[in-house]
Structure 1
Amino acid sequence: MNPTLRPATIADHPAVLALNLEAEALMSPMDAARLAMLDGQSAYHRVACDGDAVVAFLIALDQGADYDSPNYQWYRQRYPRFLYIDRIAVAASHRARKLGGLLYDDLFAFARQRGFDTVAAEFYIEPFNEASSRFHARHGFVEVGTQWVAQGSKRVSLQIAAVPKG
């Protein structure tokens, strides 16, 4: 497989929703209206394709988005300029093919080109998402806080990574 990355289009929305649903246990639910809102607010929304099939996506917003996520709001209250990774998903059939890393590398290049110093993300620590913890550590993320979400049923590790100068 030689994946290609490209900006997401509205025609990709059904595939993005299906990928989100497949990974919903590890991130928040998203319906078509929420995706349309996120797509409209996003600074970065790209998909990874295997041929014509969308097999991964990443949505990131900058500090100026009008977004009600408590995690996004946490960063907005503390950081004047950042890119926030709202969600990333890779098809189960394509995991362990480094698509998440490919999307993160592309996002960091995007951030560098646009003068961002900080990329923000979070993952569940209760219940613990060990794979995401290792993945974010490999990409230079460090914990800067935690908070309870989903009516107190889940706790996230709030993370930031410096955008490498290049």
Structure 2
Amino acid sequence: MALAIRDVHEHELDAVLAINNAAGRSILSLDKAQLRYFFEHADYFRVAEIDGHLAGFLIALREGSDYASANYRWFCEHYPQFVYIDRIVIASTYHRHGLGRIFYCDVNSFAEVRVPLLACEVFLEPRDDVVVLFHGTYGFQEVGQQRTTPESRQVSLLAKELPSYAYVRDTYLEHGGLPELPWLAGRQLSPAHPVQPRRLAGERHQ
């Protein structure tokens, strides 16, 4: 099995939309305009490809976006810096392949060199103990709950502190920016969050 976690390509958006909207009640549905918004504004939008087939995706945004999600806005009101996981969806054919943990490791690596906090939420109605336990074992803690409308489902708002960020901030971000390395680069860097790469000592332009 050949697995790659990589940036999404524009021509794959229809396939991503199909995976999202086939996920059932656990994932909010999207239309093409909403997915296009993510493609143009998300700080992190990556897919899992297995043997040439899309197996899932994860979308995350930093603070400061105009994204209208009530749960995203809650984190904006409570934390100055974070990466917010809006959704992770794995196609049913590829469940139980460990892709959830692989994605979370990847987005954690993306976030910890940029912000001190990784955030998300899970539905509590209906409660899915597998999802709750997954986030708990990955280091997330509940920081709040909310129901955005009388008709909406209760959610648990979760956050995970990223202790590596303090070192990165003190060593790099406050002294010229991140090294110019491919694994540090984001796919879609919004104007509000430009990464300011610097060259490593002794490195020259080719």
TM-score by length of structure 1 reads: 0.94
After superposing on structure 2, the runs of 4+ consecutive aligned residues of structure 1 that deviate more than 2 Å are: 149-153
Q: Deviations over 1:110-145 (max 9, x none)?
A: 11232x110000010011122211111121101001
Q: Which residue of 2 aligns with 1:125?
A: 124
Sequence identity percentage: 36
What are the within-5 Å matches in structure 2 for residues 9-158 of structure 1? Answer: 9-114=9-114, 116-149=115-148, 151-158=150-157
Larger proportion of strand: 1
Separation in structure 2 between the aligned mates of residue 97 and residue 149 of structure 1, nearest angstrom: 33
Q: TM-score, normalised by structure 2?
A: 0.76
CA RMSD of aligned residues (A): 1.4
Q: 1:146 aligns to what SS in structure 2?
A: strand
The question of whether the paired residues in 1 share the 8 Å contact of 2:140 and 2:159 is answered with: yes
Question: CA–CA distance in 2 between the matches of 1:73 and 1:153?
Answer: 16
Asked if the contact 2:113–2:164 (Cα under 8 Å) also holds between the matched residues in 1, the reply is no
Which amino acid is 2:86 matched to? D
Indicate whether 1:160 and 2:163 are aligned: no
| Cα deviation digits, residues 67-115 of structure 1 (max 9, x gap) | 000000000000000000000000111111110110110001111232x
Q: CA deviation at 1:150?
A: 5.8
Secondary structure class of the residue paired with 1:68: coil
Task: Give the residue type in structure 2 aligned to 1:45.
Answer: F
Gaps of 5+ in 2: 166-206
Q: 1:53 to 1:151 in 2, by over 3 A?
A: farther
Q: Which amino acid aligns with 1:67?
A: Y
**Residue type matched to 1:10 in 2?**
E
Aligned length: 165
| SS of equivalent residue, structure 2 residue 160 | strand
- Which residue of structure 1 lines up, in the alignment, with residue 190 of structure 2? none
Gaps in structure 1 of 5+ consecutive residues? none
Give the distance between the partners of 2:117 and 2:56, measured in 1 at CA.
Answer: 23
Structure 1 residues 17-43: Cα deviation after superposition (integer angstroms, max 9, x where no partner) = 111112141121101110001121111
Q: Which amino acid aligns with 1:56?
A: G
CA distance in 2, matches of 1:111, 1:134: 22
Look at both structures and tell me which one has the larger radius of gyration over its CA atoms. Answer: 2
CA 46–148 in structure 1, closer or farther in 2 if over 3 Å, else same: same
**C-alpha separation in 1, matches of 2:113 and 2:63:** 16
1:149 deviation in Å? 3.6
